Amino acid sequence: MKVLVTLISLIALLLVVLPGPLYKFGIVDLGTAFAGFKFGVYAGIAALVLLLLQFLLKRDTMTLGSSAIVVVFSVFSIAMPLSMMNTAKSVPPIHDISTDLVNPPEFVAIAPLRANAPNPVEYAGEASAEQQRQAYPELKTLNYSQPKAELVSAVEQAAKNLGWELINADASNGIIEATHTSTWFGFEDDVIVRVNDQGNERLVDIRSKSRIGGSDLGKNAARIHTLIEELDTVLAE
């Protein structure tokens, strides 16, 4: 029974860990990958139930090492998907975030790269904007005193520091575009930064949009915050 319980806990772990790489490399579709999470939770629960039965009925077959492995594998297989579900419930089901909700920056060089993406390149609209206002009221247009060229250069450096793929940097028009690819699933999210002159100030707006998925689990808003922090760090150097 010890071998069976350990095997089920290992299967549970694999059902949760492998969907990301399998989707990333085009072996399974997204629906199948997410189904793996569900069955991973079921398998993790089954392993813990069997471990309990083993403890009650065949305690002499148990070892501390194998039991610890079962618990670790099973708890991770259950906790990770449930954590993602809780995150999804705590944020609005949107995937297009901008510091300017009236006139969001428009993708230029990235637009052709999104031609076949499930989420269109156009802004998601007022319904998405209203949900963003409620969830992320702090995301607004930024003001800087540095010259436009310096800001464009600083944004470029910040994007590179964060490991994003730089797609376009147009200093004359104040546009920087980049793509961030997630490590686990390989999800591609696009970012555009727009720098405009307004008197002695420069207005900086940032937009981050997922290519796939109805909800971004808060990743785009977090990405904008991360870019702002890195930009400020670069400017302070």
Q: Summarize pLDDT for 107-126 with one digit per residue, the tens.
A: 999 999 999 999 999 999 99
Residue 67 · residue 51 · CB < 8 Å: yes
Residue 215, φ and ψ in degrees, nearest 5: -115, 140
Write down the pLDDT at residue 55.
86
Write down the pLDDT at residue 225.
98
pLDDT at 203 over 80: yes
Q: How far apart are CA 1 and CA 6, in angstroms?
A: 9
Residue 51 · residue 8 · CB < 8 Å: no
Query: Which two three-digit tokens encode residue 159?
Result: 């994007």
What's at 149, amino acid-wise? A
Write down the pLDDT at residue 63.
87
Read off the pLDDT of residues 72-111 as tens digits, 9 standing for 90 and up: 999 999 999 999 999 999 999 999 999 999 999 999 999 9
Write down the pLDDT at residue 58.
81
pLDDT at 1 over 80: no
189 CB burial (10 A radius; 0-12, 13-18, 19+) = buried
Residue 74 · residue 48 · CB < 8 Å: yes
- Tell me which fold the domain 96-236 belongs to: Alpha-D-Glucose-1,6-Bisphosphate; Chain A, domain 4 (3.30.530)
Write down the pLDDT at residue 62.
77
Q: List all residues 6 or more positions away from 160 whose beta carbon is below 8 Å from its beta carbon.
A: 166
* 3-state SS, residue 119: coil
Confidence of residue 153 (pLDDT cuts 50, 70, 90): very high
E strand spans, 62-164: 96-98, 142-144
Q: Quick one: CA dihedral 197, 113, 234, 218, positive or negative? A: positive
Closest residue by Cα to residue 70 from 100, 45, 39 = 45
pLDDT at 60 over 80: no
Angle between helices 2-17 and 64-90 in degrees, nearest 10:
30
Domain boundaries defined on the chain: 2-90, 96-236
Average pLDDT in the chain: 96
Q: List all residues 6 or more positions away from 193 whose beta carbon is below 8 Å from its beta carbon.
A: 105, 155, 175, 176, 177, 204, 205, 206, 207, 227
Query: Using the 8-state DSSP alphabet, how is residue 62 labeled?
Result: -
pLDDT at 61 over 90: no
**199 vs 98: which has the higher pLDDT:** 98
